[in-house]
Structure 1
Amino acid sequence: MIKGREFHPILNSIFDGEIRGINETEQLQTNCPRCQELDGLSNPDGKYNLEINTEKRVFRCWKCDSPKFSGSLGRLIKIFGNTTDYALYKDYAAMFNDYDEVDDDKDFGFVELPPEFILFSDMDTKDDLHLEAYNYMVLQRQIEYPILLKFRIGFCFDGKYAGRIVIPSYDQHGDLNYFVSRSYRNQKPPYMNPKADKDVIIFNEGLINWDSLVFIVEGVFDMLTIYNSIPLLGKTLSNNLFLKLK
């Protein structure tokens, strides 16, 4: 069964049938109209850099830069389709509990871990710089090593995030969607996070058992010590999380 197949005819119409994977898979590829415009081309470039996932209802172009062109499927249809296309999309999307029309006006941004990121599972136990980060988590924060592995936590000792623990977030499909970095060297500011909309994600949703009791906590370090918990990353409940908990 192809999830999000209801959206395929809409996309096929918008992109004139030039879509790879249509009616065959959730992961589609087509030529990016934004790239075509930026490159001053009269016709599509034929590189199929625009990827669309109809199950997740998101898109991203792998070529567009500053910033990466990405967002909700509704945003894509709203930009390149007509009012009928978008109205039909909203009718189908409304069947999903996590759909919020507000997301169709947002650029989700694209999150990547820092290039200097090192997993604790890959640390060098003979390297003092690696041990500095490890001791902060295990000795000072009292976070057990298996927890570091479970949440795929790491650190950076150089680069933009030098001297920081990095706690990544992955969605229900295993894709990175955010991360929180915390200084272990008393740097200012203590927290430094990517420029991405944290209100559209549920932190580490892929690790949550929705059939069990779910705890809401304030920050990521609370999440590491409380089973089946979700950090707010702020003071209020995001709309996405509210809809999921209903």
Structure 2
Amino acid sequence: MDLLESARQGSKPEEFYTVCPKCAENGKSPAYKLGINTKKGIFNCFRCNYKGRLSSLDASYEAPDVTLESLKERLNWGVKEAPICDLTDFTDSIQSSSEAHKYLANRGLSDADIRKFGIRVGKPYLKDGEKFKFWKDRVVFPFYHKDKCVYAVGRTFNGSKVKYLNYSGQRRNLLWGLNRVKSEPIILCEGIFSAIYAEKLTGVKAIALLGKKITLEQLSLLQGKATKIYLCLDADVTKKEKKDFLKTLIYSNFPVYDVELTVAYKDGKVLTDPNDFGKDFITFFKEAKKKTMNDLW
């Protein structure tokens, strides 16, 4: 097994974690307990105390080759430079559409919220002389990287069967709302509306994954941005999905607090998202419990 191939980054740029070969030899379940420090050139397993120089960890690696840059290259770490997404091509300000403005107002978003989160409305656009209407009648949420828009998601407000429309590109490298975070606690949510409501209700910056999993690329983006993470997956998440997600975050040395939503019912509607619970979400947030590795074994 190539130990460094599957390494995960720790809380510092030079720190990584991978599976300990000695633990595996002794029949213990694979776990990311082997800490690697590329700056010091050492490794140490926090479970069995196996330690030494990196040059002795794997015969296929020589000490000069085991560097932060070589590891990052092997892991394809970080976000590749994404093409710029020119919002003016296919979106306009919310004020240009009374329907879009009304839709957001009905969902509890003020004009200040619209400006804060940079929400826009889709419009028809021309490409090679042909008119396209993919983004029409959708509120659009831009994704920013290094202050440039590189991606967008559109949500229909006219009842279209296709609820969400994604801009071309790889969203696995992105997190919605991360551009507003500067070394502070964050709430990590599944969806964009969930993140918006979570932030409005708590005052803590919230970002959206667009799913129930986090990629290594997304995890690397949190380094240097998040100081602690409040994980807030929807109430319909399975125990296995939650456990796997928590493992990924905790192995990365983030202090993680689990905001555990409970499925509820109101007026015949199933409540699963932060935006479903309204002010009751604050109670869930205040009761968030810190998770450690011991909680997962």
Q: Normalized against structure 1, the TM-score is what?
A: 0.52
Partner of 1:153: 119
Hey, what's the Cα distance between the residues in 2 that align with 1:232 and 1:116? 23
Matched pairs, number? 147
Hey, what's the Cα distance between the residues in 1 that align with 2:108 and 2:187? 20
**Deviation (angstroms), 1:240:** 2.6
Q: For 1:1-246, what aligned pairs fall within 5 Å after superposition?
A: 91=67, 93=69, 101-102=75-76, 108-113=82-87, 115-120=89-94, 123-124=95-96, 130-139=97-106, 141-158=107-124, 159-171=133-145, 173-211=146-184, 213-227=185-199, 228-243=205-220, 244=222, 246=252
Hey, what's the Cα distance between the residues in 2 that align with 1:93 and 1:112? 32
Return 5+ residue gaps in structure 1 as ranges. Answer: 1-86, 125-129
Q: Tell me the amino acid that sits aligned with residue 215 of structure 1.
A: I
Secondary structure of the 1:115 match is helix
**Deviation (angstroms), 1:168:** 0.5
Which aligned segments of 4 or more residues in structure 1 are displaced greater than 6 angstroms? none
Hey, what's the Cα distance between the residues in 2 that align with 1:142 and 1:153? 14
Question: Are the equivalent residues in 2 in contact too, given 1:109–1:197 (CA < 8 A)?
Answer: no
Question: Are the equivalent residues in 2 in contact too, given 1:111–1:178 (CA < 8 A)?
Answer: yes
Secondary structure of the 1:196 match is coil
Q: Normalized against structure 2, the TM-score is what?
A: 0.43
Hey, what's the Cα distance between the residues in 2 that align with 1:187 and 1:209? 37
Hey, what's the Cα distance between the residues in 1 that align with 2:198 and 2:122? 25
Q: 1:242 to 1:188 in 2, by over 3 A?
A: same
Secondary structure of the 2:76 match is helix
**RMSD value over aligned CA atoms?**
3.1
Hey, what's the Cα distance between the residues in 2 that align with 1:182 and 1:206? 21
Higher strand share goes to which structure?
Answer: 2
Q: Tell me the amino acid that sits aligned with residue 230 of structure 1.
A: I
Return 5+ residue gaps in structure 2 as ranges. Answer: 1-63, 125-132, 200-204, 224-251, 253-297
